[in-house]
Structure 1
Amino acid sequence: MTETTAGVPNLIDLQTPDSDAAAQFYVELFGRRIEDKAPAGYRYSRTLDGAVIAGLRQTDGDQPAAWTVYLTTNDIARATRHTAESDARILYGPVDVPGQGEVALIADPTGAITGLWQPRPGWRFASHTPGAFAWAELLTPRGSVADDFYARLVGLGSTQIGNADTYDYAVWTPTGHQAPVAGRHQIVAHDGGPAHWRVYFTVDPAIGTDQVLTNALRLGATLVAEPSDIPAGRVAVLADPAGAQFALLTPAPRT
């Protein structure tokens, strides 16, 4: 459930030009309830006990549909100052979300849009349960730049697990944390598109990635990467009907 260590993903949300259509797609795919529209147009998907799974916000149509990852900060004012002093941009905020926390959106030095979230006591973010957050990774053509920026921004240490030549992949671990909380994959810019985050959703092992993928395609999603087995489990990458990419992960059995 909620982890308040700096650098840990503590919220995800989807920006999309048709929030009603997106809500219907994800509800049918994962079986999670979504709140009615709030006055500002932002709404949450929640677990039965009220923990936030994801946010949903409607764009004006000029921005592409995309998932955003919000990293925990214990000092959002300092984090935004660091952003302003780096080769990065503040896009929004920081602003107060009454009773929940403070939020900001930035464009990191590699161009990826990232959220910063300083939650209030009592904030609960669901993760590692079916239909909820499982993992996030930053896909960027400038891996070392991203490693350095997020280390200074929220204290994420980088450990290379690829060979840094044909496969440049690192995992990020917060200071004092035992396990990594996100990944960074270096891509070729013209092949992988602009820098962006990829959100992985947990799949119930009793159902499996392949079956959820089949259901998603039936609901109008498109396949980006065929199902495959990795050390973490079985994954597939797809795009929802509006084009927002995300991934499915059936966790590997623990040994």
Structure 2
Amino acid sequence: MTLSINFGGGHMPMSRIGGTMLYASLPRGLPCWVDLCSTEPAAALDFYAALFDWEYQTQPVEQGGAGEDYFVATRDGIPVGGVSARRAAASSWVLHLAVQRVGEAAAAARRFGAQVLRAEEELGALGRRVVLRDSSRAEIALLQAGDGWQFEVGRPGSLIWAELITNRVRFADHFYETLFEYEAREFGDGRRSDFVVWYVGGDSVLARVRMVKDAGPQTEPHWLVYFGVDPAVGVDQTVARARSLGAELRVEPFDSAYGRIAVLRDVTGARFGLIDAGAATGHESAAVYDPYDD
């Protein structure tokens, strides 16, 4: 099971079949975890439990001899991500990419211009990770999966896609394509629409989108993670539910080549997207529609 949106065939196979990725099926560079670093973790836990029917398991995270609570979110008993406390910065979702040896991968990332934001740490059965700021200034994590790691993708309430939104596209392309040896395919005209899709083993796994020029100066490069929506419920109803729980709508629901999309901020300020991938036919990104000028 791979995390894939296959535009060449005009469909999104991951979103249609879904599945649980296991340790043995984890190629280097594949999205393998998402972690909400929240300024108000209690509020975040309640929000996503109500929106996606998530439940939580608590486990300690050991770093530098000090432990703190880490919440593993599950849906139908399968992990879909984590929630942890963040005290010094704004809330955000942090995408994790798979590596075989986290120490070696982190050293290579530093050589390519990354900075370490959070030193290597143990996430229990999930494995070991390090959190970086890549050379385009976006936050990203590298995860060396443990033997007990598993991760639900492509189903309602789980990760379905992720895009790097940045105005430092040359830095981003060099960093990720060198570190993970992604195959890259460019779409758009390079001006209004500059959209690169990265592939692992022939499967599309991630995209890089040039930030629109009128983005506010306070807008930093960032990864935008998208969660699947139950087609029986739909994006519009899910957005209405999220807003009733206190979320802020950033991009109104619209039909696109992905399917139907919306982008919100949760109750703690973290951006996330929704996709109902019933009719994906080509490349298009919510980043084109939202300048993220907040």
User: Which TM-score applies when normalising by structure 1?
Assistant: 0.93
Give 1:228 shift: 1.1
1:231 maps to 2:260: no
Looking at structure 2, the residues matched to 37 and 217 of structure 1 have their Cα atoms a distance apart, in angstroms, of 30
- What residue is the counterpart of 2:289 in the other structure? none
2:158 to 132, 155, 172: 132
Give 1:22 shift: 0.6
2:50 to 28, 40, 61: 28
1:59 maps to 2:86: yes
RMSD of aligned alpha carbons = 1.7
Identity among equivalent positions (%) equals 31
1:7 maps to 2:29: yes
Q: Which amino acid aligns with 1:123?
A: W
1:187 to 211, 222, 234: 211
- What residue is the counterpart of 2:5 in the other structure? none
> What are structure 2's unaligned runs of at least 5 residues?
1-19, 61-66, 282-294
Looking at structure 2, the residues matched to 237 and 154 of structure 1 have their Cα atoms a distance apart, in angstroms, of 28
Report the 3-state secondary structure (helix = DSSP H, G, I; strand = E; otherwise coil) of the residue aligned with 1:5: coil
Give 1:148 shift: 1.2
The answer to whether the 8 A contact 1:44-1:56 is kept is: yes
The answer to whether the 8 A contact 1:79-1:154 is kept is: no
Looking at structure 2, the residues matched to 99 and 44 of structure 1 have their Cα atoms a distance apart, in angstroms, of 11
Looking at structure 1, the residues matched to 124 and 56 of structure 2 have their Cα atoms a distance apart, in angstroms, of 20
Report the 3-state secondary structure (helix = DSSP H, G, I; strand = E; otherwise coil) of the residue aligned with 2:215: helix
Matches within 5 A, 1:40-189: 40-49=68-77, 51-60=78-87, 62-174=88-200, 177-188=201-212
Give 1:122 shift: 3.5
- Which stretch shifts more, 184-193 or 218-227? 184-193
Q: Which amino acid aligns with 1:119?
A: A
> What are structure 1's unaligned runs of at least 5 residues?
none
Report the 3-state secondary structure (helix = DSSP H, G, I; strand = E; otherwise coil) of the residue aligned with 1:149: helix
Query: Aligned pair count?
Result: 251
1:42-97 per-position Cα deviation (integer Å, ceiling 9, x unaligned) = 11111223x2111000122x210100000011222221111221222112222333
- Which stretch shifts more, 197-206 or 180-189? 180-189
1:103-124 per-position Cα deviation (integer Å, ceiling 9, x unaligned) = 0001001110000001023311
Looking at structure 1, the residues matched to 260 and 228 of structure 2 have their Cα atoms a distance apart, in angstroms, of 10
Looking at structure 2, the residues matched to 134 and 99 of structure 1 have their Cα atoms a distance apart, in angstroms, of 23
Displacement over 6 Å in runs of 4+: none
Report the 3-state secondary structure (helix = DSSP H, G, I; strand = E; otherwise coil) of the residue aligned with 2:189: coil
- What residue is the counterpart of 2:12 in the other structure? none
The answer to whether the 8 A contact 1:89-1:107 is kept is: yes
Report the 3-state secondary structure (helix = DSSP H, G, I; strand = E; otherwise coil) of the residue aligned with 1:87: coil
Give 1:203 shift: 0.1
User: Which TM-score applies when normalising by structure 2?
Assistant: 0.81
Looking at structure 2, the residues matched to 178 and 247 of structure 1 have their Cα atoms a distance apart, in angstroms, of 25
Report the 3-state secondary structure (helix = DSSP H, G, I; strand = E; otherwise coil) of the residue aligned with 2:204: coil
